Amino acid sequence: MSTAVVRTKADIGRVGFVGCGLMGSGIAEVCARAGRDVVVVEATRTAAAAGLERITRSLERAAASGRLSGAERDAATDRITVTTEMARLADRDLVVEAVAEDERAKLEVFARLDDVVERPDAVLATNTSSIPVIRLAAAISRPQQVIGLHFFNPVPVLPLVELVPSLLTGEETVRRTHAFASEVLGKEVVRAQDRAGFVVNALLVPYLLAAVRMAESGTASALDIDRGMTLGCAHPLGPLALADLIGLDTVRAIARSMYEEYREPLYAPPPLLARMVDAGRLGRKTGRGFHDYGGSGGGAMREDGAVVAGAAGPARPVHGRRDGEQPT
């Protein structure tokens, strides 16, 4: 008679995160709302406080809109601990790395997790949107337990998760992670090969970069490029507004990773994107990108080199020059 242990979705009850930015906080929130015990680790007390505030605000909005009851909001809040102590992840069944899209930073996190996490079969997942999972898995002593688990922003709203096993990921890790994402979190799971960009970004990023090149060449203003796709193709956001939402630094990082893998010109970050990142115009998170979100001036780039404010309503000229580069 077989003695194999049959695991259920309840097998993953304690979830940990490294990083509490937009993605880490969003995934932590949905896990807490699904009844899981959540520990989130941030690098500093300031970042930890900001991350906890971000989660709390999101839960408050969900309760105010009727998507959660007050009791459900309070219960989810009580399940979340945000700390600066990596050792608090020792007892986790699943840990999700959600730091910046930088391979060196992610490798450092996985090296720490390899030392800290005690459960022998704990799943170590990465929320990378473009870095091949095998590079992270091969750097630690338990590569069979490493998998890509790529969520989309805003995590509480968007239903998709990309599940990305590497060549070394064990079938049990795949099964447990798939069950957790679909049965516990209620997400729709798409399984992708471990190639830079996976499914969604392999299609999306060339489109975003093409829009940047169009603005860069003066073919049309950022405002009109976005209006063309929202009004002409029924997209909920234009490509440049979407790049601003993602974060232009993140778009550039994804593009660089994909270009490194494929060496195809359509993945190469345009100069405009790089200039904008260098200038600190990263999109919504800084208040300025291709459009103005209430930051210190700036806004959408016009074909004549001026900058116009706001993606909605009449655009008005704002002093400035088209000195940005690629969205990421």
Question: What pLDDT was estimated at residue 266?
Answer: 94
- The tokens for 6 are 């049959």
Question: What pLDDT was estimated at residue 294?
Answer: 86
User: Which entry of 58, 127, 129, 257 is annotated as an active-site residue?
Assistant: 129
Residue reference for tokens 């996976």: 198
Active site residue 150: yes
Distance set, CA 222 to CA 17, 31, 208, 239, 297 (Å): 36, 37, 12, 9, 16
User: Which entry of 42, 162, 216, 325 is annotated as an active-site residue?
Assistant: 162
* Among 302, 311, 309, 301, residue whose Cα is nearest residue 276: 301
User: Which entry of 127, 150, 257, 325 is annotated as an active-site residue?
Assistant: 150
Cα 158 versus chain centre, distance: 12
- Give per-residue burial for 289-306: e unless 16+ CB within 10 Å, then b: bbbbbebeebbbbbbeeb
In tens, the pLDDT along 207-251 reads 999 999 999 999 999 999 999 999 999 999 999 999 999 999 999
Residue reference for tokens 């102590």: 85
Amino acid at 87: A
For the chain, the three-class secondary structure string (H helix, E strand, C coil) is CCCCCCCCHHHCCEEEEECCCHHHHHHHHHHHHCCCEEEEECCCHHHHHHHHHHHHHHHHHHHHCCCCCHHHHHHHHHCEEEECCHHHHCCCCEEEECCCCCHHHHHHHHHHHHHHCCCCCCEEEECCCCCCHHHHHCCCCCHHHEEEEEECCCCCCCCEEEEEECCCCCHHHHHHHHHHHHHHCCCEEEECCCCCCCCHHHHHHHHHHHHHHHHHHCCCCHHHHHHHHHHHHCCCCCHHHHHHHHCHHHHHHHHHHHHHHHCCHHHCCCHHHHHHHHCCCCEHHHCECCCECCCCCCCEECCCCCEEECCCCCCEEECCCCCCECCC
Contact 165, 188 (CB under 8 A): no
Active site residue 201: yes
Sign of CA dihedral 205, 207, 212, 216: positive
Q: How many CB atoms are closer than 10 A to CB 53?
A: 13
- The tokens for 233 are 């193709």
Question: What pLDDT was estimated at residue 283?
Answer: 97
- The tokens for 273 are 């994107």
Give me the residues of the chain with pLDDT under 70, please. 1-10, 295-328
Tell me the C-alpha distance between 109 and 43, whole Å. 11
Active site residue 58: no
Question: What pLDDT was estimated at residue 323?
Answer: 29
Active site residue 97: no
Tell me the C-alpha distance between 96 and 269, whole Å. 28
Tell me the C-alpha distance between 42 and 105, whole Å. 13
User: pTM for the complete prediction?
Assistant: 0.82
User: Which entry of 127, 166, 201, 221 is annotated as an active-site residue?
Assistant: 201
Tell me the C-alpha distance between 191 and 170, whole Å. 14
